[in-house]
Amino acid sequence: MWVYTRRRHEHDPRFVINLDHYPSIAINKLGERYFVDAGTGGDTTTLASTDTEEEATRFVQQIFDALEAGKTALNLGADDSPSENKNDHASRPEPPQATPPQAITP
């Protein structure tokens, strides 16, 4: 199942990860934050971070529910505030428009 991660902070980019390559999911506490990590033997990737253990547990439950339901993708950042998502898109410049090729006539 593909998971679109949640931001850890406002400058952290979100990314898509395939959980088929990570056999374990764990909640780890580091300082005052809780991290939901997907891991293999020696490699871990953070899927989400929260301020409370309850919220971290909710993310893990969301992942397990999606797996059980047979979903192919899950967006962990869907609960992010609209203003944060708006700012994310506003900071990116618009891509240049492609110019269609012109036919050459003799």
| 16-54 CB burial, b ≥16 within 10 A, e <16 | ebebeebeebeeeeeeeebbbbbeeeeebebbbbbeeee
Nearest to 32 by CA among 55, 12, 10: 55
pTM: 0.65
Provide the residue ranges of all domains of the chain, joining segments of one domain with +.
1-10+25-75
User: Up-side HSE of residue 31: CA atoms within 13 Å toward CB?
Assistant: 5
pLDDT in tens, 28-41: 999 999 999 999 87
pLDDT confidence tier of residue 77, bands split at 50, 70 and 90: confident
Residue 53 has a pLDDT of 94
With vertex at residue 64, the alpha carbon angle to CA 59 and CA 70, rounded to the nearest 5 degrees, is 130
Most confident of 2-6, 69-73, 78-82: 69-73
> Of 11-15, 27-31, 72-76, which range is least confident?
11-15
Q: Which of 52, 45, 48 is nearest to 80 (CA)?
A: 48
Longest Cα–Cα distance of the chain, Å, equals: 72
pLDDT at 58 over 80: yes
